[in-house]
Amino acid sequence: MRGYLQSELQQLQQRQNAHLSALTNKIESVQQDIQQRGQLTENAVAAQIGELDDRLQRLGVGTTAVVRSTV
């Protein structure tokens, strides 16, 4: 009986470790995706601000410098 319980406990621990590993990999993948999307969004916003600044300069409207903060 003791051997059976030890075997079952070991199998449960192995499954738990496999699930934990899979979950950790998924979380890392989601984090990378979020960082990539954040960078793409930041680049798109910076490009739009640059275009608006160019338009304002062509129209002769005074602009102030936009300070970009890094997160």
Which residue ranges make up each domain of the chain?
Answer: 1-71
pLDDT tens profile 30-58 = 999 999 999 999 999 999 999 999 999 99
Q: How far apart are alpha carbons 67 and 21 in whole angstroms?
A: 41
Q: What is the DSSP letter of 12?
A: H
pLDDT tier for residue 61 given thresholds of 50, 70 and 90: confident
- E-strand ranges in the chain read none
